Protein backbone atom coordinates (compact mmCIF):
# COMPACT_ATOMS: atom_id res chain seq x y z
CA UNK A 1 0.00 0.00 0.00
CA UNK A 2 1.69 3.21 -1.12
CA UNK A 3 2.16 6.14 1.21
CA UNK A 4 1.51 9.64 -0.13
CA UNK A 5 3.25 12.51 1.61
CA UNK A 6 1.52 15.80 0.82
CA UNK A 7 3.87 18.69 1.45
CA UNK A 8 2.47 21.66 3.39
CA UNK A 9 0.19 24.01 1.44
CA UNK A 10 -0.86 27.29 3.10
CA UNK A 11 -4.58 26.77 2.49
CA UNK A 12 -5.28 23.12 1.76
CA UNK A 13 -3.11 21.39 4.38
CA UNK A 14 -0.87 23.80 6.30
CA UNK A 15 0.85 21.01 8.24
CA UNK A 16 1.14 18.62 5.31
CA UNK A 17 -0.28 15.09 5.49
CA UNK A 18 0.78 11.49 5.25
CA UNK A 19 -1.84 9.32 3.55
CA UNK A 20 -2.25 5.64 2.76
CA UNK A 21 -3.82 4.49 -0.49
CA UNK A 22 -4.48 1.42 -2.56
CA UNK A 23 -2.52 0.88 -5.74
CA UNK A 24 -4.75 1.57 -8.74
CA UNK A 25 -6.44 4.53 -7.04
CA UNK A 26 -6.48 7.91 -8.75
CA UNK A 27 -4.44 10.46 -6.76
CA UNK A 28 -7.20 13.09 -6.57
CA UNK A 29 -9.54 10.58 -4.91
CA UNK A 30 -6.97 9.89 -2.19
CA UNK A 31 -6.52 13.62 -1.59
CA UNK A 32 -10.24 14.41 -1.47
CA UNK A 33 -11.06 11.35 0.68
CA UNK A 34 -8.50 12.60 3.22
CA UNK A 35 -9.79 16.18 3.39
CA UNK A 36 -7.18 17.74 1.13
CA UNK A 37 -9.70 19.80 -0.80
CA UNK A 38 -7.75 20.31 -4.01
CA UNK A 39 -9.67 22.16 -6.68
CA UNK A 40 -11.19 20.16 -9.53
CA UNK A 41 -13.25 22.60 -11.57
CA UNK A 42 -13.91 20.15 -14.41
CA UNK A 43 -15.13 17.46 -11.99
CA UNK A 44 -12.10 15.26 -12.69
CA UNK A 45 -12.60 15.00 -16.46
CA UNK A 46 -9.14 16.23 -17.59
CA UNK A 47 -10.60 19.46 -18.96
CA UNK A 48 -8.77 22.00 -16.75
CA UNK A 49 -5.61 22.31 -14.67
CA UNK A 50 -7.00 23.09 -11.22
CA UNK A 51 -5.89 19.73 -9.77
CA UNK A 52 -2.29 20.17 -10.95
CA UNK A 53 0.32 18.71 -8.61
CA UNK A 54 4.09 18.36 -8.71
CA UNK A 55 5.30 14.87 -7.84
CA UNK A 56 8.58 15.41 -5.98
CA UNK A 57 9.28 11.69 -5.44
CA UNK A 58 7.82 8.61 -7.11
CA UNK A 59 6.88 10.30 -10.41
CA UNK A 60 7.99 7.36 -12.58
CA UNK A 61 5.80 4.93 -10.66
CA UNK A 62 2.62 6.63 -11.92
CA UNK A 63 0.84 5.69 -15.13
CA UNK A 64 2.11 7.55 -18.19
CA UNK A 65 0.27 10.79 -18.99
CA UNK A 66 -1.73 10.61 -22.21
CA UNK A 67 -1.79 13.30 -24.90
CA UNK A 68 -4.89 15.03 -23.50
CA UNK A 69 -3.32 15.37 -20.06
CA UNK A 70 -0.06 16.63 -21.58
CA UNK A 71 -2.00 19.24 -23.57
CA UNK A 72 -3.83 20.41 -20.45
CA UNK A 73 -0.62 20.52 -18.41
CA UNK A 74 0.85 22.94 -20.93
CA UNK A 75 -1.70 25.45 -19.59
CA UNK A 76 -0.94 24.88 -15.90
CA UNK A 77 0.57 27.57 -13.70
CA UNK A 78 4.02 26.57 -12.45
CA UNK A 79 4.44 23.61 -14.79
CA UNK A 80 7.46 21.42 -14.02
CA UNK A 81 8.80 18.28 -15.73
CA UNK A 82 7.28 16.17 -12.94
CA UNK A 83 3.84 17.82 -13.02
CA UNK A 84 0.65 15.77 -13.27
CA UNK A 85 -3.06 16.35 -13.11
CA UNK A 86 -4.08 14.52 -9.96
CA UNK A 87 -7.34 13.45 -11.66
CA UNK A 88 -5.30 11.40 -14.15
CA UNK A 89 -2.45 10.07 -11.99
CA UNK A 90 -3.02 6.42 -11.07
CA UNK A 91 -1.03 5.13 -8.10
CA UNK A 92 1.24 2.11 -8.26
CA UNK A 93 2.88 0.32 -5.33
CA UNK A 94 5.44 3.09 -4.72
CA UNK A 95 5.40 5.94 -2.23
CA UNK A 96 4.91 9.50 -3.49
CA UNK A 97 5.82 12.95 -2.28
CA UNK A 98 3.36 15.46 -3.72
CA UNK A 99 3.36 19.24 -3.73
CA UNK A 100 0.23 21.21 -4.53
CA UNK A 101 1.23 24.47 -6.23
CA UNK A 102 0.38 27.65 -4.37
CA UNK A 103 -1.56 29.01 -7.34
CA UNK A 104 -3.91 27.52 -9.88
CA UNK A 105 -5.67 28.77 -12.98
CA UNK A 106 -9.42 28.47 -12.51
CA UNK A 107 -11.24 30.45 -15.21
CA UNK A 108 -14.67 29.72 -13.74
CA UNK A 109 -13.74 30.88 -10.25
CA UNK A 110 -11.97 33.96 -11.60
CA UNK A 111 -14.98 35.00 -13.69
CA UNK A 112 -13.50 34.30 -17.13
CA UNK A 113 -15.57 32.46 -19.68
**pLDDT score, position 104:** 74
> Does 13 reside within a domain?
yes
When divided into structural domains, the chain yields a total of: 1
**Does some domain include residue 12?**
yes
Ramachandran angles phi, psi of 15, nearest 5°: -95, -5
With contact defined as beta carbons under 8 Å apart, do 102 and 61 qualify?
no
Kindly report the length of the chain.
113
Among candidate residues 29, 36, 33, 27, the one with its CA nearest the CA of residue 8:
36
Going from the first residue of the chain to its last (113 residues), give the mean pLDDT of each consecutive group of 10, the final group possibly shorter.
96 96 97 96 93 98 97 94 98 97 65 44
The C-alpha atoms of residue 51 and residue 84 are separated, in whole angstroms, by 8
Answer whether residue 50 is part of any domain. Answer: yes
Could you tell me the residue range of the domain that residue 58 belongs to?
3-99
The pTM assigned to this predicted structure is: 0.90
- Considering the domain boundaries, does residue 25 fall inside one? yes
Helices (H) and strands (E) in the chain, counts: 2, 5
The per-residue pLDDT for 113 is 42
CATH code at 39? 3.10.20.30
The answer to whether 62 and 39 have CB atoms below 8 angstroms apart is no
- Measured CA to CA, the distance from residue 93 to residue 58 in angstroms comes to 10
- Whether 111 is covered by a domain: the verdict is no
Position 73 scores a pLDDT of 96
Please tell me the predicted confidence (pLDDT) of residue 75.
93
Asked if residue 110 is part of any domain, the answer here is no
Amino acid sequence: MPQIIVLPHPELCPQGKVLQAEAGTVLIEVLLDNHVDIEHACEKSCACTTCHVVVREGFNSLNVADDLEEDMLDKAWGLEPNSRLSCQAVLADHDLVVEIPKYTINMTKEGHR
